[in-house]
Amino acid sequence: MRKKAMSLPSVELKQGMVTSLEIESGVVKGINYKGDERTILAPLTIVCDGSFSGLRGLINLPKVTKHGHCVGLLLKNCQAMDPGYVYALLDQRVGIYPIGMGEYRVLIGFPGKVPSTSNGDMAHFLKTSIAPEIPPELYGAFMAAVEEGQVKVAPMHSMPAVPCSSTPGAILLGDALNVRHPASGNRRRHERGYE
């Protein structure tokens, strides 16, 4: 989106850290940011600062609720399994699905507190509780990912999308507006041609 906007002769790019929205009488008039200028005014402000948006709270949207965490691992150089299938280990809240040739994503849902990655508790949990359930074709790649510390932890949010904000002058896009479950994060790679 940025590249496309920059290609237009009527667009001037300015970079800085947005600190707040400029709001006047309940209408978003622009942004305040750290940089050469402090305020930029515009008839429409597009907010797309991600799932941890610092600006979402300034616009009247439904509350974001947290439902636990999702732990993810990327398995590389895997033996081929049946393409197009997702493997679910329901008792462990684990999903395994292909994201590329020889690559699989493993997602583990934690409704509560996750084991610490810094003190080795997460690696121990993965090796003792999850590894025995991993399909044999993926076991070696799973253990390698755990040993290499390729474990990512992300909060799971429920953030329903709304057609538009009730605050005039601003709209939200992307993860600032609506966050999907991490399991749906492979869709773009499939659209790029992986079958």
Sheet holding 87-89, edge to edge: 87-89, 94-100, 103-110, 65-75, 151-158
Task: Flag whether 194 is in a domain.
Answer: no
Q: With contact defined as beta carbons under 8 Å apart, do 21 and 170 qualify?
A: yes
User: If 0-12 CB within 10 Å is exposed, 13-18 middle and 19+ buried, where does residue 24 land?
Assistant: exposed
Give me the domain span that covers residue 92. Answer: 65-156
Tally of domains within the chain = 2
One domain for residues 20 and 77: no
One domain for residues 85 and 144: yes
Show pLDDT as tens, one digit a residue, over the chain (195 residues).
788 988 999 988 888 888 889 999 989 999 999 877 789 999 998 888 877 777 877 776 666 677 788 899 999 988 767 766 777 776 668 888 888 888 889 999 888 788 898 899 999 999 999 999 898 889 999 999 999 988 888 877 666 666 555 688 988 877 777 766 555 544 443 343 333
Task: Flag whether 183 is in a domain.
Answer: no
Task: Flag whether 192 is in a domain.
Answer: no
pTM for the complete prediction?
A: 0.60
CA distance 55 to 47: 7
